[in-house]
Amino acid sequence: MNILLYILIFIIGTLFGSFFTLATYRIPLGQDITHKRSYCPNCNHKLAFWDMIPIFSYIFLGGKCRYCKTKIRIRYLLLEVITGIVFTLFALSINLNIYTISLSKILYLVFGLLYISILFIIAGIDKERYEVKKNVLLVGIIIQTLYIIYLYVVEKDPNMYRYVIYLFLLCMLVLVDINVLKKKAKASYPVEVLMLSMYMILFTYEWVFFMTVCFTLLAIVFYLILRKIKFKKNVVKEDNKKELQLPIAFYMCTANILCLIVTNMCAFWSF
């Protein structure tokens, strides 16, 4: 029965992964992500149900649009597979067992997967556009607040003070962004990253966030080393080099998801 449960979670993950590809494309364009039917971005033909089955549609269509035969980027397939794997690993990390399952663990699973979903969307947009969409982050904060209310009312969590502190800091950052940075037309990416940091700490606690920062820095250093090696091999002139832009939020989201899964395994499993 547990195997069937994890297969179901994997399938749900692939469905979410398919939605993430849509969300990361439409949200920056200000398009509807819930009511408007999916369509091919090349020929604008509305997709049928069998065109949108995660993983299988890509394989059966040969990685091409059924209507205009344009090649579909393989990253869509990879995102569906990776999301399914991450969802399954998260369920495994909390030692989910259908025979000993409890309400608190179910809710942690649900809110945890929603938290991961928000990070996936933020990471996808930041990777392409170097920005943290505050409307996506706001949805995540609202969901997290609902979970905090549950922890306080039902679980009697004694750490409510920390939730209040970080929510207050988030509100302050939002006010700074709206009343200071926007009026002066200054870049708000550093503030957006700070907002994301507060959001991560709320769900994963300080020590997991510390690990997230460490792995983010390692990833950035590794990227910069590879970039330098690439430029040396290609003998690119300094004037022709692209301006360096680092999708910091992308690295942070990826590292935070991995750290969350690993720390959950340490907390929920007895080795």
- Residue 234 — pLDDT band, cuts 50, 70, 90? low
Is 100 a residue whose pLDDT tops 50?
Answer: yes
Residues 171, 82 share a domain? no
Residues 120, 53 share a domain? no
Instruction: Give the CA diameter of the chain.
Output: 63
Residues 170, 51 share a domain? no
Burial of 182 (0-12, 13-18, 19+ CB in 10 A): exposed
Token duo for residue 7: 């297969």
How far does Cα 95 stand from its chain's mean position?
Answer: 22
Residues 271, 151 share a domain? yes
d(CA 203, CA 141): 10
Residue 103 vs residue 49, higher pLDDT: 103
Residue 51 vs residue 198, higher pLDDT: 198
What predicted TM-score, i.e. pTM, was given to this entire model?
0.90
Among 101-105, 172-176, 206-210, the range scoring the smallest mean pLDDT is 172-176
Sign of the Cα torsion 51, 56, 60, 63 reads positive
**Secondary structure, 3-state, 86-143:** HHHHHHHHCCCCCCCCCHHHHHHHHHHHHHHHHHHHHHHHHHHHCCCCHHHHHHHHHH
DSSP assigned state of 264: H
- Residue 94 — pLDDT band, cuts 50, 70, 90? very high
Domain boundary among 68, 93, 118: 93
Which H or E run contains 210? helix 189-234
Is 263 a residue whose pLDDT tops 50?
Answer: yes
Is 114 a residue whose pLDDT tops 80?
Answer: yes
Is 54 a residue whose pLDDT tops 90?
Answer: no
Among 30-34, 40-44, 51-55, 238-242, the range scoring the smallest mean pLDDT is 238-242
Q: What is the per-residue pLDDT for 193? A: 92
- Residue 184 — pLDDT band, cuts 50, 70, 90? low
d(CA 199, CA 21): 22
**Average pLDDT of the segment spanning 71-98:** 91
Residues 6 or more apart from 31 whose CB is under 8 A from it?
none
Residues 187, 85 share a domain? no
Residues 180, 241 share a domain? yes
- Residue 239 — pLDDT band, cuts 50, 70, 90? very low
| Maximum mean pLDDT: which of 55-69, 143-157, 246-260 | 246-260
Q: Would residue 21 count as lying in a domain?
A: yes
d(CA 253, CA 237): 33
Residues 18, 63 share a domain? yes
Is 28 a residue whose pLDDT tops 50?
Answer: yes
Q: What is the per-residue pLDDT for 200? A: 94
Its domain, for residue 119, covers 103-271
Residues 206, 241 share a domain? yes
Residues 53, 13 share a domain? yes
Cα angle 34, 6, 83; round to 5: 45
d(CA 181, CA 175): 9
Residues 162, 29 share a domain? no
Q: Would residue 98 count as lying in a domain?
A: no
Residues 107, 89 share a domain? no
| Maximum mean pLDDT: which of 39-53, 137-151, 159-173 | 137-151
Token duo for residue 264: 């959950």
Among 68-72, 182-186, 208-212, the range scoring the smallest mean pLDDT is 182-186
Tally of domains within the chain: 2
pLDDT tens profile 4-27: 999 999 999 999 998 998 889 888
How many Cα atoms sit within 13 Å of 154 on the Cβ side?
A: 11
* Cβ contact 116:93 at 8 Å: no
Q: What is the per-residue pLDDT for 91? A: 95
Domain boundary among 93, 115, 143: 93
How far does Cα 136 stand from its chain's mean position?
Answer: 10
Q: How crowded is residue 82: how many other Cβ atoms within 10 Å of its Cβ?
A: 16
**Average pLDDT of the segment spanning 155-165:** 85
Q: Would residue 44 count as lying in a domain?
A: yes
Q: Would residue 266 count as lying in a domain?
A: yes
Domain boundary among 93, 118, 140: 93
Is 270 a residue whose pLDDT tops 80?
Answer: no
Q: Would residue 62 count as lying in a domain?
A: yes
Residues 213, 138 share a domain? yes
